[in-house]
């Protein structure tokens, strides 16, 4: 038995965020440049219902007698049974791999963006599905609709006061999933408000709300229970959830204890939906009521959630929450993926798009992490969150000492061939000698100075990720680091690449012509770096190109320099300048539309559609100016 007070003290049991999909890969910060290198968190611990992960409780639960077994046995984890995945269609098929469990393979050739035989240059959508569960992260709960995820004017749920909806229709559509959640959140908010009355006076404080992953797992449990209560058996979709790969049995003791703690959090949260005579006392739910035969089954599910969940992202890749789709979870990882997971039209429309041609029989691979990160960072993320050492073609290439990774290299100052060398070991003290890969000469790098800059850059990114960077005043913090780094490393190298994107974000929308010009220059530099650090047709590049096209298509007359001059009153010189800028914008918009089609599939998603509309407007304006 746990009172809210005693639960409250032990709230730090968390699991590493689980985040794959493009939201995760699109590293830098901000709108369209989302998720810093560590995207939207998917910790499992409910933030307020923080029942302590006590070993005895977990051990006790593990020995509980099962009350009710599932009426239909789900396929075991690792099953190749395609019937659990109704959305899975040719050209994709499940196959077993020797070293990474199941995977999805192309049964026929997939010809995609940029291929000579494809005239429309769009990426091929391999899979279109709806996540089994998708929830907003805490940071977006008050600004986005919990059903369609759009950022718009909203009303909050009158009972739980946590979720918001843009319309009665959205609220109704989400109600079956939200109903038990609403009761649980209402109960927890009451406990929190009685414990912290001063905090509760601030109607917008949602620090008490259960974490994203906790809410997501609980929604799945409640949906399963509702189906079992109605039909006496598990819903059909449960088979796919039950077959998701779990790492619970291979975790070390510390990780197992942490996971057990999360299980306890979820059990308390689930039970908060049940009315109680004493609203200040919360018991853990009996998981047999939810169809779990033992504690280890829920432990497996929590581990599977960590390994198999995706960053829910907006069409412009801003990470906004967490989602789970058993069929999308079948894709294995490569740091050089041939496909990407995207939400091109927002909401729950989840798509897997091929970004390069795929041969028949070839495995379709997505990336679980930000592929623009250097080798060591990628390996660390994959090992910590997904439990494997990546041996993909890009990671293998790192062993070639003659190869200079654009993600982790230094500039050769004064090199006639714009050469670069491998990043020296940053633990080195003093000057390191580096060989230029272009001209073969050696040059010296002051390692301590470079190390300090890289550390400062990473710290700024981390601060931004934690929401601690004020964009209005971030300029003085960012500029010196970026200027100094630009002299030493190429724009494709970490952390300069995400810092450049962050800088552009802090300058947008520009208020002066000089700022507009500077932002465009920095964004062009960042795009050329991003092209080197990502595979071709990657959505991150498409979104950056859209950002550039948008900046270029801004009406610069409104930047306070020339004042707003109606076109019919503008002088010849002004018209010539305007035509020049519009031509630049039109070119950039056309490129952005093509890049969006390649990255987000036919239609280019919402970002491609927005670029298409802007393109029409700019073309119309150009036509009008030409006719003058
Ligand atoms: C989302 S699941 C992918 C599907 C999984 N193979 C299955 O059978 O259900 C992620 C897990 O698959 C395995 N995996 C994915 N990509 C891998 C890779 N490139 N190398 C080794 N293991 C990989 C790891 O165990 C990882 O935690």
Mutation test residue for ligand 1: of 332, 363, 366, 395, the one with most atoms within 8 Å of CB: 332
Mutation test residue for ligand 1: of 306, 333, 334, the one with most atoms within 8 Å of CB: 333
pLDDT digits (tens, 9 = 90+) for 423-464: 999 999 999 999 999 999 999 999 999 999 999 999 999 999
Beta pairing class for 155-156 and 420-422: unpaired
Q: How confident is the model at residue 120 (pLDDT cuts 50, 70, 90)?
A: low
In this predicted structure, what is the pLDDT of residue 400? 96
Residue with CA closest to ligand 1 atom 18 = 333
Residue with CA closest to ligand 1 atom 7 = 102
Backbone dihedral angles phi then psi of residue 354, each to the nearest 5 degrees: -75, 130
Identify the CA nearest to 245 among candidates 42, 389, 102.
102
In this predicted structure, what is the pLDDT of residue 229? 97
Q: Summarize the confidence of residues 299-305 as an average pLDDT.
A: 94
State the fold for domain 2-366.
Beta-clip-like (2.170.270)
Mean pLDDT score of the chain, rounded to an integer?
Answer: 85
Phi/psi class of residue 291: alpha, beta or left (left: φ > 0; alpha: ψ in -120 to 50)? left
Mutation test residue for ligand 1: of 81, 301, 388, 390, the one with most atoms within 8 Å of CB: 388
For the CA of 329, the closest atom of ligand 1 is 1
Q: How far is CA 404 from CA 26, 252, 424, 537, in A?
A: 22, 36, 11, 22
Q: Is the pLDDT of residue 305 over 90?
A: yes
ipTM surpassing 0.95, yes or no? yes
The CA radius of gyration of the chain, in Å to the nearest whole number, is 26
Ligand 1 centroid – CA 378 distance (Å): 15
Q: Which residue has the higher pLDDT, 40 or 114?
A: 114
Ligand 1 centroid – CA 330 distance (Å): 8
Q: How far is CA 37 from CA 34, 75, 136, 142, 405, in A?
A: 9, 35, 19, 24, 18
Element (H, E) at 350: strand 350-354
Ligand 1 centroid – CA 126 distance (Å): 19
Q: How far is CA 243 from CA 80, 82, 85, 238, 330, in A?
A: 9, 11, 10, 8, 10
For the CA of 245, the closest atom of ligand 1 is 9
Ligand 1 centroid – CA 416 distance (Å): 44
Beta pairing class for 365-366 and 431-435: unpaired
Ligand 1 centroid – CA 333 distance (Å): 7
Per the listing, tokens 């959505």 go with: 539
Identify the CA nearest to 620 among candidates 581, 589, 577, 586.
586
In this predicted structure, what is the pLDDT of residue 71? 38
Q: Summarize the confidence of residues 250-266 as an average pLDDT.
A: 92
Pair of tokens at residue 491: 């724009």
Question: What is the rounded CA–CA span in Å between residue 280 and residue 195?
Answer: 10
Which stretches of 316-423 are DSSP H helices? 375-386, 393-397
Question: What is the rounded CA–CA span in Å between residue 608 and residue 317?
Answer: 13
Pair of tokens at residue 15: 């699991």
pLDDT digits (tens, 9 = 90+) for 344-385: 999 999 999 999 989 999 999 999 999 999 999 999 999 999
Q: How confident is the model at residue 114 (pLDDT cuts 50, 70, 90)?
A: low
Identify the CA nearest to 272 among candidates 209, 158, 185.
185
Which stretches of 495-571 are DSSP H helices? 496-506, 513-533, 539-552
Q: Summarize the confidence of residues 257-261 as an average pLDDT.
A: 92
pLDDT digits (tens, 9 = 90+) for 195-251: 999 999 988 899 999 999 999 999 999 999 999 999 999 999 999 999 999 999 999
Mutation test residue for ligand 1: of 84, 101, 329, the one with most atoms within 8 Å of CB: 101
Domain boundaries, the chain: 2-366, 407-508, 538-628
For the CA of 100, the closest atom of ligand 1 is 22
E strands in 130-282: 133-136, 155-156, 164-165, 281-282
Q: Are 503 and 479 in contact (CB under 8 A)?
A: yes
Q: Does domain 538-628 have CATH number 3.30.420?
A: no
Element (H, E) at 365: strand 365-366
Identify the CA nearest to 105 among candidates 96, 94, 115, 116.
94
Mutation test residue for ligand 1: of 245, 305, 339, 393, the one with most atoms within 8 Å of CB: 245
Q: Is the pLDDT of residue 492 over 90?
A: yes
Question: What is the rounded CA–CA span in Å between residue 599 and residue 122?
Answer: 8
Ligand 1 centroid – CA 499 distance (Å): 31
Q: Who's near 368: CB < 8 A, 6+ residues apart?
A: 19, 20, 21, 24, 333, 381, 382, 385, 386
Q: How confident is the model at residue 574 (pLDDT cuts 50, 70, 90)?
A: confident
Q: Are 445 and 488 in contact (CB under 8 A)?
A: yes
Q: Summarize the confidence of residues 592-597 as an average pLDDT.
A: 94
Q: Summarize the confidence of residues 93-101 as an average pLDDT.
A: 95
Beta pairing class for 319-324 and 133-136: antiparallel
In this predicted structure, what is the pLDDT of residue 318? 95
In this predicted structure, what is the pLDDT of residue 219? 98
Q: Summarize the confidence of residues 559-582 as an average pLDDT.
A: 69
Ligand 1 centroid – CA 261 distance (Å): 24
Output the 3-class SS for 440-459.
CCEEEEEHHHHHHHHHHHHH
Name the pTM for this structure.
0.87
Ligand 1 centroid – CA 369 distance (Å): 13
Question: What is the rounded CA–CA span in Å between residue 40 and residue 24?
Answer: 8
Residue with CA closest to ligand 1 atom 21 = 100
For the CA of 102, the closest atom of ligand 1 is 8
Q: Is 2 helix (H, G, I), strand (E, B) or coil?
A: strand
Q: How far is CA 82 from CA 359, 458, 564, in A?
A: 21, 43, 61
221 forms beta bridges with none
Binding-site residues, ligand 1, Cβ < 6 A: 78, 99-103, 245, 307-308, 329-330, 332-333, 386-388, 390, 392
Element (H, E) at 434: strand 431-435
In this predicted structure, what is the pLDDT of residue 4? 31
Mutation test residue for ligand 1: of 19, 74, 77, 100, the one with most atoms within 8 Å of CB: 100
Q: Fold identical between 2-366 and 538-628?
A: no
Q: Summarize the confidence of residues 242-263 as an average pLDDT.
A: 92
For the CA of 386, the closest atom of ligand 1 is 27
Backbone dihedral angles phi then psi of residue 106, each to the nearest 5 degrees: -80, 130
Question: What is the rounded CA–CA span in Å between residue 48 and residue 12?
Answer: 10
Q: Is the pLDDT of residue 290 over 90?
A: yes
Q: Which residue has the higher pLDDT, 247 or 557?
A: 247
Q: Are 360 and 106 in contact (CB under 8 A)?
A: yes
Beta pairing class for 332-333 and 365-366: parallel
Ligand 1 centroid – CA 386 distance (Å): 7
Per the listing, tokens 């960590």 go with: 306
Ligand 1 centroid – CA 287 distance (Å): 28
Beta pairing class for 102-106 and 92-96: antiparallel
For the CA of 385, the closest atom of ligand 1 is 27
Burial of 77 from C-beta contacts in 10 A (0-12 / 13-18 / 19+): middle
Question: What is the rounded CA–CA span in Å between residue 589 and residue 608?
Answer: 9
Element (H, E) at 215: helix 212-231
Ligand 1 centroid – CA 332 distance (Å): 5
Residues in the chain: 628
| C-alpha dihedral sign at 579, 580, 586, 589 | negative
Q: Is the pLDDT of residue 62 over 90?
A: no
Ligand 1 centroid – CA 318 distance (Å): 25
Ligand 1 centroid – CA 388 distance (Å): 8
In this predicted structure, what is the pLDDT of residue 77? 58
Question: What is the rounded CA–CA span in Å between residue 266 and residue 303?
Answer: 13
Ligand 1 centroid – CA 99 distance (Å): 9
In this predicted structure, what is the pLDDT of residue 79? 67
């Amino acid at each position: 038995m746990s009172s809210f007070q005693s639960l409250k003290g032990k709230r730090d049991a968390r699991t590493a965020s689980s985040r794959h999909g493009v939201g995760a890969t699109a590293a830098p910060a901000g709108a369209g440049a989302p998720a810093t290198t560590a995207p939207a968190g998917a910790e499992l611990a409910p933030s307020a219902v923080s029942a302590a992960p006590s070993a005895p409780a977990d051990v006790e639960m593990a020995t509980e007698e099962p009350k009710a077994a599932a009426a239909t046995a789900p396929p075991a984890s690792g099953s190749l049974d395609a019937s659990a995945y109704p959305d899975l269609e040719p050209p994709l098929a499940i196959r077993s791999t020797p070293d990474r469990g199941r995977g999805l393979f192309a049964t026929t050739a997939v010809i995609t963006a940029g291929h000579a035989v494809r005239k429309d240059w769009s990426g091929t959508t391999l899979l279109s599905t709806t996540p089994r569960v998708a929830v907003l992260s805490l940071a977006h709960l008050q600004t986005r609709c919990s059903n369609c995820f759009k950022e718009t004017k909203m009303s909050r749920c009158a009972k739980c006061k946590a979720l918001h909806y843009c319309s009665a229709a959205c609220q109704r559509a989400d109600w079956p999933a939200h109903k038990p959640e609403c009761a649980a959140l209402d109960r927890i908010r009451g406990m929190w408000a009685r414990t912290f009355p001063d905090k509760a006076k601030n109607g917008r404080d949602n620090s008490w709300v259960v974490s994203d992953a906790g809410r997501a797992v609980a929604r799945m449990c409640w949906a399963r229970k509702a189906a079992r209560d109605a039909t006496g058996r598990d819903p059909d979709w449960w088979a796919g959830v039950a077959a998701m790969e779990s790492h619970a049995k291979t975790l070390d003791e510390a990780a197992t204890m942490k996971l057990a703690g999360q299980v306890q959090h979820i059990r308390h949260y689930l039970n908060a939906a049940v009315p109680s005579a004493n609203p200040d006392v919360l018991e853990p739910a009996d998981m047999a009521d939810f169809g779990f035969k033992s504690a280890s089954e829920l432990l497996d599910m929590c581990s599977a959630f960590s390994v198999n969940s995706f960053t829910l992202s907006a069409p412009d890749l801003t990470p906004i929450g967490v989602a789970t789709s058993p069929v999308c979870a079948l894709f294995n990882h490569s740091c050089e993926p041939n496909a990407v997971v995207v939400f091109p039209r927002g909401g729950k429309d989840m798509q897997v798009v091929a970004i390069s041609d795929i041969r028949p029989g070839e495995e379709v691979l997505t990336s679980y992490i930000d592929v623009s990160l250097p080798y060591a960072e990628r390996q660390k993320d994959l090992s910590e969150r997904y439990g494997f050492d990546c041996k993909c073609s890009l990671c293998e290439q790192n062993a070639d000492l003659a190869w200079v990774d654009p993600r982790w290299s230094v500039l050769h100052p004064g090199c006639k061939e714009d050469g670069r060398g491998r990043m020296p070991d940053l633990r080195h003290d003093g000057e390191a000698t580096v060989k230029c890969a272009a001209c073969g000469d050696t040059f010296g790098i002051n390692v301590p100075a470079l190390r300090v800059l890289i550390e400062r850059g990473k710290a700024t990114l981390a601060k931004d990720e934690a929401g601690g960077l004020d964009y209005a005043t971030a300029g003085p913090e960012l500029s010196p680091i970026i200027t100094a780094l630009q002299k030493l490393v190429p724009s494709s190298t970490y952390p300069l690449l995400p810092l450049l994107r962050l800088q552009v974000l802090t300058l947008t929308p520009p208020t002066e012509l000089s700022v507009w010009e500077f932002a465009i220059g920095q964004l062009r530099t960042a795009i050329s770096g991003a092209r080197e650090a990502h595979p071709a047709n990657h959505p991150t590049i498409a979104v950056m190109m859209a950002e550039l096209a948008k900046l270029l298509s801004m009406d610069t007359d409104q930047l306070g320099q020339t004042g707003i001059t109606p076109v019919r009153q503008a002088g010849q010189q002004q018209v010539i300048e305007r035509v020049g800028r519009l031509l630049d914008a039109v070119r950039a918009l056309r490129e952005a539309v093509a890049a969006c089609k390649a990255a987000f599939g036919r239609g280019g998603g919402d970002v491609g559609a927005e670029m298409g509309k802007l393109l029409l407007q700019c073309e119309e304006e150009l036509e009008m100016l030409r006719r003058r």
